[in-house]
Structure 1
Amino acid sequence: MKKVLIVGAHGATAQIVTARLLAETDDQLVLYLRQSRRLAQYADNARVTLVDGDVSDIEKLTAAMAGVDVVYSNIGGVDLGTQTKHLLTAMQQAHQTRLIFMSALGAHHEVPGKFGDWNEQAIHDFLPGFREAAQLLATSKLDYTEVRPAWLTNTDEIDYETTTLADGFKGTEVSRASVADFMIKVIADPSLYRRESIGLDKPGTDGDQPSWL
C-alpha cells in the first residue's frame, strides 16, 4: 500500500488515475485541488483525503505531502513555471523526492517536422511554462518522471508507446486512458523512469496534425 498525493486532482487524466487506483489497489490518496467540492463523490471514502488548496499555498501543499510515497502533479496553465517552483519548494520542505509530472510534447523542442511546427503554433502560449518546468525538474535533485503526452483524446482505449528524448517524439495523439495507465504503472513501481522525460503517443498516428483536424 502506498500513499499518493495527486496535485491538480480535478484534471481529466488525474480523475482516471484516481478511479483506477481506488478500484485496483489499496493505496491511500490525497487529492489536492481548488474547490475540493468538485470531487465530493470521494468525501466519505476512507481511503481519500480531500484538500482544498492552491499550489501557490506552499504551507498547505507542504502539509498535504506529509507521509506520502509519491507525488503526481497534474497542474497546468500559462504560469506552469511559477506553479512548478511552488511545487518543488513544497517538496523540498516536506522532504519528498519522488515526483511524476504531467508535461506536454514540445517541452524540450523535441517534436520534429511539420507536426512540430504546427504544435509550436497551437500551444504557443503554454510552451514557455512547459519549458521552464522542464528546466526546473532537470536542475532539481528530485527523482522525477516527466511525462510528455501527444495531443489528448477521450477515446476509451489503452494503446501507447513510450519514447525518450534521445528517440525524438513520435505520433500526434494519445488517449487520456493511456496516459493514466502509464502514470499508474510508475506509481506502482516508483523505481521506473527515474530522472527521465518520457513521451507518450499512440502508435501509427504520425502526421502533420492530429487526425481530427
Structure 2
Amino acid sequence: MKILIAGAHGATAQLVAKRLIADTTDELVLFLRDAKRLGDWAKADRVTVVEGDVKQTETLVKALTDVDVVYSNLGGTDLADLTSELLAAMKQAGVHRLIFYSALGALNEVPGKFGAWNEQAIAAFLPGFRKANDLILKTPEIVTTQLRPAWLTNNDEVAYETTSATEPFKGTEVSRKSVADFVIRLLKDPSLYQNDSIGLDKPGTDGDQPSWI
C-alpha cells in the first residue's frame, strides 16, 4: 500500500513509520511542516517526505496522489480546522480511508473522577477533538477509524485493551508503542473498525489520575 502520515513528526507517528519501514514493503509519504525535524531513518528508499501545512490544499492533494490510507497524527487547539482541511483534500484526491488520532474524552465517555480530571487537564484541546469527531461523522464518504488513547507513556511495552464508542472508557494510561501497534493492525487490515471510534488503555490502570500525577 501507499500510506500518508499527516503530522509525521509526532512521537507515535514516528513509531508507526519506523515499524512500517522495518516490517512491510509499503510506500510512505511523511507530511509535516518542518522536514528537518525527522532523522536519517526517514531517508529510506520507500519514503517520500513532503514539507507543508495541511491548510495548503494544493500541496496536500498532490501528496495524496495514489495514496490508499491516511493516518492522521495532527493535533493542537485548531484540530477541527485541520481536520476539515484534511477531509476536503482527501475527497478531492479520491482517498477514502482514514485512521484518525483522537483523544479520550472526545465522546464524553470517560466516567467518574478520572473523567472530571481529564476534562480539566485537556480543556483547551477537547473542543477541537469533539468538533473533529462531528466533522468525521458528517463525512461518510471517508471511512474513518478514530483512536482515543489514554494518557500516553514512553514505556517500552505493548499492552492494551480496547473499548467501543458506546462503552465507558477504561484505564488512565497506555504506552505510545501500544497505540502504534494498534495503528499498524489497522494499516495491515483497513477493513477493521470501519466508521468506529476505539478507546485504548493499558489493563489494570484504572484510577482517578494517571500514575505519575
> What TM bracket, shorter-length normalisation?
over 0.9
Task: Read off the aligned partner of 1:12 and give its amino acid letter.
Answer: A
The residue that corresponds to 1:152 in the other structure is: 152
**Coordinate RMSD, CA, aligned:** 0.8
**Which runs of 5 or more structure 1 residues have no equivalent in the other structure?**
none
TM-score relative to the length of structure 1: 0.98
Q: Whole-Å Cα distance in 1 between the matches of residues 110 and 88 of structure 2?
A: 30
TM-score relative to the length of structure 2: 0.98
The residue that corresponds to 2:35 in the other structure is: 36
Offset at residue 44 of structure 1 (A): 3.6
The residue that corresponds to 2:94 in the other structure is: 95
User: Is structure 2 residue 31 aligned with structure 1 residue 46?
Assistant: no
Alignment of 1:58-73 (within 5 A): 58-73=57-72
The residue that corresponds to 2:181 in the other structure is: 181
Summarize the Cα distance change of 1:59–1:174 in structure 2 as closer, same or farther, 3 Å threshold.
same
**Which runs of 5 or more structure 2 residues have no equivalent in the other structure?**
none
Task: Read off the aligned partner of 1:149 and give its amino acid letter.
Answer: P
Deviations 1:27-62 (A, max 9, x none): 110000011121241454210000000111111111
Q: How many residues align?
A: 212
Q: Whole-Å Cα distance in 2 between the matches of residues 40 and 168 of structure 1?
A: 39
Query: 3-state DSSP class of the match of 1:171?
Result: coil
The residue that corresponds to 2:202 in the other structure is: 202
Query: 3-state DSSP class of the match of 2:4?
Result: strand
Task: Read off the aligned partner of 2:11 and give its amino acid letter.
Answer: A
Deviations 1:108-156 (A, max 9, x none): 1010000000000000000000000011111112110000000000000
Q: Whole-Å Cα distance in 2 between the matches of residues 97 and 127 of structure 1?
A: 25
Q: Sequence identity, in percent?
A: 62
Summarize the Cα distance change of 1:172–1:59 in structure 2 as closer, same or farther, 3 Å threshold.
same
Q: Whole-Å Cα distance in 1 between the matches of residues 18 and 96 of structure 2?
A: 24
Q: Whole-Å Cα distance in 1 between the matches of residues 23 and 32 of structure 2?
A: 23
Query: 3-state DSSP class of the match of 2:67?
Result: coil
